[in-house]
Amino acid sequence: MPITLASDNAATALPVWTATRDGLDDLPEAARRWAKATRFEAGAGQVLLVPDADGATAGAVLGLGKAAGTGEGAAARRTLAAGALATHLPAGDWQLAEGADLDGSLATLAVLLGGYRFDRYRTGREDEDAAADIRFAPPGDVDAAEAQALAAGVSLTRDLINTPTSDMGPAELEAAARALADAFGAAVTTIEGDALLEENFPMIHAVGRASASAPRLIDMRWGRADAPKVTLVGKGVCFDTGGLDIKPASGMLLMKKDMGGAANVLGLAHMIMACGLDVHLRVLIPAVENAISANAFRPGDILHSRKGKTVEIGNTDAEGRLVLADALALADEEAPQLLIDMATLTGAARVALGPDLPPFFTDDDGFAGDLAAASMAVADPVWRMPLWAPYAANLSSRVADINNVTSDGFAGAVTAALFLQGFVEKAESWSHFDVYGWRAKASPIGPVGGEAHATRALFQVLKARFPRR
């Protein structure tokens, strides 16, 4: 990591002042003069190095853009500009100046996130791509260990999504889950291949059977057995051709990220375990590749599910909800206190809310309220959308209990959530997150590529409800 947190350097660390576009006059005199002389505009994420009389670096100014508005979450979103420090500061010891108008915990996390790079496949460019060795002293009230745990969870999610399917198929996703489990003393079991039929996971098997890499259900457990049950289910479609309803070439370019739900729940699991939250954590990942071969499942097929429902296949490209349904049915059998699934599920969610604002669906108003507040506080946005029950009729089938798609194409994210809801009965609280799993534009806290969505907000809710014992 190019960024390290070190409190022992606070006495000698150089200051980082902050300034809005119209707030340059509030800077120390030398910094103010230099900002004026260089026509520094203090745009969000701009960084200005300030020299001393001898030409050495005396500090830096972090631009915050326009003064924060009064809208909920505006100050937190502005704080994320601190992530730019990771790529714009020279090597050395740094800290936020006294009086910096930023939340110290969120700014520290932003700096760590801003230092992320995915360089697994880059060769021969070590000197060009080498990042400065920055030692950042967090403010004294910051829980540095928690900030590092959250950053590590986000980085894990990003790494998993960024890795191409040639190195991140169902078997490799299982290996990643086992590596995480080993790091925290969790237990992992896997049901693989035709054993899925023997153990009654017929839809996971049907979706994944055409791939050269056998489908599997990954099941990880951690925490004391009598702690509150929190179960995370992540869609692990390691690549999605669309199946026999094949996608166009352009539609496959980002399909390595179709396991983004699995990557997100593994990142969240890392946060939970690293911070020792008092839960009995279960992580379920149906890991498959939706491939094409002679034994691929077909449009018009009728699949049996673990829950007993029959599902008519209206489109093989709506495979994620099928594998999730079997995994959710298993999770539901334990009646967990919280059941959360995450999936890169529908293009409709992106049409409605764009790539950076994932919708979530739940009937639990208390959980929804807590999550909305947390998402604003940590600048990890989510937006609640309705489980509009009348639309469930649009999933009807003339020959089976339900179809996996609607015929009219309306409200695709809502009807997908309603499909999943039909496989959950016993959980005290269930929530579904339709995430994109990708950062489409670079920002101070991360480059273009795989991204964690909603996990930091979810962690805050879980931390408040199930603190460390």
Nearest to 79 by CA among 49, 110, 48: 110
Tokens of 414: 């809502």
Q: Is the dihedral of CA 325, 327, 332, 337 positive or negative?
A: negative
- How open is the CA angle 99-101-103, to the nearest 5 degrees? 105
Distance CA 423, CA 440 (A): 32
Task: Calculate the dihedral angle through the C-alpha atoms of 122, 440, 161, 129, rounding to the nearest 10 degrees.
Answer: 20
Tell which residue, 403, 195, 178, 212, has the closest CA to residue 204: 195
Structure-token match 């959530």, residue found: 417
CA angle 332, 338, 264 (to 5 degrees): 95
Task: Determine contact, residues 109/150, Cβ cutoff 8 Å.
Answer: yes
CB 265 within 8 A of CB 236: no
- CA–CA dist 326, 125 (Å, integer): 45
Asked if 189 and 174 touch (Cβ cutoff 8 Å), the reply is no
CA 440 to CA 392: how far, in whole Å? 32
Question: Among all residues, which ones are annotated catalytic?
Answer: 247, 321
Question: What count of other Cβ atoms lies within 10 Å of the Cβ of residue 399?
Answer: 9
Minimal CA–CA distance to 361: which of 342, 380, 335, 337?
Answer: 342
C-beta of residue 5 within 8 angstroms of C-beta of residue 112: yes
Helix 455-465 vs helix 260-274: crossing angle, to nearest 10: 40
Helix (H) or strand (E) holding 342: strand 338-343
Q: CA-CA distance, 315 to 304, in Å (whole number)?
A: 16
Rounded CA separation 286/297 (Å): 17
Strand partners, 17: 61
In this structure, the chain runs to a length of 469
Q: b vs e for 274-308, b when ≥16 Cβ sit within 10 Å of the residue's Cβ?
A: bbebbbbbbbbbbbbbbbeeeebbeeeeebbbbbe
